[in-house]
């Protein structure tokens, strides 16, 4: 495997249960949707990832063209019907950095993006308010607002295989190292987040965000390092 | 457990930090060092470093959350050199911390404080404006208060190591292996200044000789993404 880049960023993962048929339509054959079976994200079949990239470096350690960015990505956890190989399919990205268009997955669109993050701490207790809004040039609008009390995060290291829904031959392997704080989870009964407002009004995603989608979990990831490899 | 020269892995920390480097009175710093260590300075003249820490996670050597897993503290450090061996190390001579499990701490220099912390990050496309505030109220009197507003940019990635000893017990040596992103928001010798607002107040009686008005700020660096592994015995 060849290292392509290293990204250091902060993220918020929003996991939902959306219309399975609408998700399946976005996957190439012979892949099928594979919702999380257990844990704090059980039942989620759609992952929305808000990222603020602090620095992306190329394989040589230089600044990548999209060295900094604000973006939101939409992913479907999936599995190969025959081999059961797991992979996440990226099918849409809104990005503030023009160098990220059309992007490594060929499905990024340019967007205006704003984020306002406030932290108020008293001793060891903290309240975080996070607001992010992205508006794409093709009429999409994605907005997240939440307030939460961080807990002690869990350090996790895991590999992921990412594929492009626009071109399934585009395959990337990620090695991630992160602090993960699940601040809201319906399956796990975690409710440290309040005032959650998550809105997607995007013509290309209308079948997924038709009012029947259900929030499963929200994870704050204040520290994230990812190495990206090509197979 | 891997030994990287200073001994086995002791602990690791993931945090954000703000580092202020000052030029202060060498005699006042020297008075805090154990013999025969001699206070030194960076090429830019900084001999006193004040580090504001917002710790997301402290882990022990096995990866478990440490008793002071989440913490806020400010550390005071001076660079020094051993005249006989030539060894260079930074000496930690005081920490004020919010966490009772950090007392007296790994350097035996920590004292309790009441802490307030505020941060606002306003990102518009590819530019961020950041306001930071740390206020440490010391029970014995005085405070350490930092207010900083700056414009971010593209940070640099820096990896390196540092030897840190305790001024309370110089036999305590911890070797830091650091991987971080760094914004240099002010560097007086280099003419860098991304600061929009700054106020630093240190009115703690025991630090009065270091912050008597003659100290000069040399630089401010911010690490929004900081990872450290510490080795030692």
Overall size of chain B counted in residues? 233
Question: In CATH, what number is assigned to the domain containing residue A32?
Answer: 2.40.400
pLDDT of residue A202: 96
Q: What is the DSSP string of A194-214?
A: EEEEEEEE-GGGTTTSSS--E
CB atoms B115 and A121 under 8 Å: yes
Task: Collect all residues of chain B within an 8 Å Cβ-Cβ radius of residue A61.
Answer: 157
Interatomic CA distance for residues B146 and B138, integer angstroms = 14
Secondary structure (3-state) at A141: strand
Burial profile B112-149: b = 16 or more Cβ within 10 angstroms, e = fewer: bbebbbebbbbbebbebebbbbbbbebeeebbbbbebb
Chain B contact for A149, CB < 8 A?
Answer: no
Chain B contact for A120, CB < 8 A?
Answer: yes
pLDDT of residue A147: 98
Q: What is the pLDDT of residues A157-214, one digit of tens each?
A: 999 999 999 998 899 999 999 999 999 999 999 999 999 999 999 999 999 999 999 9
pLDDT of residue B122: 96
**Which residue pairs from B31-36 have beta carbons closer than 8 angstroms and sit at least 24 positions apart in sequence?**
B31/B209, B32/B78, B32/B91, B32/B93, B32/B167, B33/B78, B33/B80, B33/B91, B33/B93, B33/B167, B34/B167, B34/B170, B36/B82, B36/B83, B36/B84
Task: Collect all residues of chain B within an 8 Å Cβ-Cβ radius of residue A120.
Answer: 117-118
Overall size of chain A counted in residues? 231
Instruction: For Cα atoms A49, A50, A53, give the angle at the middle one, nearest 5 degrees.
Output: 115
> In which band, very low, low, confident or very high, does the pLDDT at B3 lie, cut at 50, 70 and 90?
low
Mean pLDDT of B138-148: 97
Mean pLDDT of A113-120: 97
Q: Which two tokens stand for residue B224?
A: 């929004």
Task: Collect all residues of chain B within an 8 Å Cβ-Cβ radius of residue A54.
Answer: 155, 181, 224-225
A152 → closest Cβ in B70, B99, B125 = B70
> In which band, very low, low, confident or very high, does the pLDDT at B1 lie, cut at 50, 70 and 90?
very low
> In which band, very low, low, confident or very high, does the pLDDT at B96 lie, cut at 50, 70 and 90?
very high
B125 → closest Cβ in A112, A116, A152 = A112
> In which band, very low, low, confident or very high, does the pLDDT at B233 lie, cut at 50, 70 and 90?
confident
Task: Collect all residues of chain B within an 8 Å Cβ-Cβ radius of residue A8.
Answer: 157, 181, 225
Dihedral sign from CA coordinates of A36, A39, A41, A42: positive
CB atoms A116 and B123 under 8 Å: yes
Which residue from A71, A75, A117 is spatially nearest to A97, judged by alpha carbons?
A: A71
> In which band, very low, low, confident or very high, does the pLDDT at B52 lie, cut at 50, 70 and 90?
very high
pTM for the structure as a whole? 0.95
A119 → closest Cβ in B57, B71, B118 = B118
Q: Which two tokens stand for residue B171?
A: 């036999």
Chain B contact for A116, CB < 8 A?
Answer: yes
Q: Does A119 have pLDDT greater than 50? A: yes
Quick one: CA torsion of A18, A21, A22, A26, rounded to 10 degrees? 120
B154 → closest Cβ in A67, A96, A120 = A67
Which residue from B133, B147, B160 is spatially nearest to A122, judged by alpha carbons?
A: B133
The bridge status of strand A171-185 relative to strand A108-122 is unpaired
Count of the separate structural domains present in chain A: 1
Q: What is the pLDDT of residues B57-73, one digit of tens each?
A: 999 999 999 999 999 99
CB atoms A96 and B118 under 8 Å: no
Helix (H) / strand (E) element for B26: namely helix B26-30
Mutate which of B69, B113, B126 to test chain A, going by most A C-beta atoms within 10 A? B126
User: Which domain does A126 fall in, by range?
Assistant: 2-230
pLDDT of residue B125: 84
The bridge status of strand B143-151 relative to strand B156-166 is unpaired
Interatomic CA distance for residues A80 and A101, integer angstroms = 28
Mean pLDDT of A82-104: 96
Alpha carbon B190 to chain centroid, angstroms: 21
- Average pLDDT of the residues of chain A: 96
Chain B contact for A54, CB < 8 A?
Answer: yes
Mean pLDDT of B206-211: 98
Q: A158 with A180: CB under 8 angstroms?
A: no
């Amino acid at each position: 495997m060849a290292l392509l880049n290293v990204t250091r960023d902060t993220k918020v993962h929003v996991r939902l249960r959306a219309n399975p048929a609408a998700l399946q339509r976005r996957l190439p054959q012979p892949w099928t949707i594979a919702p999380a079976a257990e844990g704090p994200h059980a039942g989620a079949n759609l992952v929305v990832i808000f990222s603020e990239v602090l620095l992306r470096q190329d394989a040589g350690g230089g600044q990548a063209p999209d060295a900094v960015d604000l973006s939101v990505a939409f992913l479907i956890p999936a599995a190969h019907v025959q081999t059961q190989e797991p992979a996440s399919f990226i099918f849409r990205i809104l990005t503030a950095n023009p160098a990220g268009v059309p992007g490594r997955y060929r499905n990024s669109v340019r967007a205006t993006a704003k984020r306002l993050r406030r932290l108020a701490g008293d001793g060891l207790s903290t309240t975080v308010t996070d607001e992010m809004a992205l508006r794409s040039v093709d009429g999409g609008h994605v907005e997240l607002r939440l307030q939460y009390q961080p807990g002690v995060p869990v350090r996790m290291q895991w590999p992921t295989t990412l594929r492009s829904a626009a071109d399934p031959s585009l395959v990337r392997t990620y090695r991630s190292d992160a602090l993960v704080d699940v601040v809201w989870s319906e399956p796990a009964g975690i409710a440290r987040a309040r005032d959650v407002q998550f809105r997607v009004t995007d013509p290309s995603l209308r079948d997924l965000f038709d009012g029947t989608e259900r929030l499963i979990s929200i994870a704050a990831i204040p520290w994230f390092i990812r190495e990206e490899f090509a197979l | 457990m891997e030994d990287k020269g200073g001994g086995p892995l002791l602990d690791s920390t993931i945090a954000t930090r703000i580092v202020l480097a000052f030029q202060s009175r060498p005699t006042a710093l020297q008075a805090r060092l154990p013999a025969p260590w001699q206070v030194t300075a960076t090429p830019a003249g900084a001999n006193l470093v004040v580090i504001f820490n917002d710790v997301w996670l402290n882990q022990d050597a096995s990866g478990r959350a440490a008793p002071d897993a989440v913490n806020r503290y400010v550390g005071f450090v001076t660079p020094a050199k051993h005249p006989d061996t030539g060894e260079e190390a930074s000496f930690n001579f005081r920490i004020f911390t919010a966490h009772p499990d950090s007392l007296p701490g790994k350097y035996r220099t920590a004292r309790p404080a009441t802490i307030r912390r505020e941060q606002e990050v306003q990102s518009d496309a590819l530019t961020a404006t950041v306001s930071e505030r740390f206020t440490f109220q010391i029970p014995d009197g005085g405070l350490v208060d930092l207010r900083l507003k700056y414009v971010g940019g593209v940070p640099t990635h820096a990896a390196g190591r540092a030897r840190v000893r305790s001024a309370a017990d110089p036999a305590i040596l911890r070797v830091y292996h650091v991987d971080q992103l760094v914004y240099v928001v002010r560097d007086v010798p280099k003419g860098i200044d991304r600061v929009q607002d700054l106020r630093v107040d240190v009115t703690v009686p025991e630090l009065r000789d270091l912050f008597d008005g003659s100290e000069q700020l040399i630089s401010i660096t911010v690490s929004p993404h900081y990872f450290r592994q510490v080795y030692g015995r």
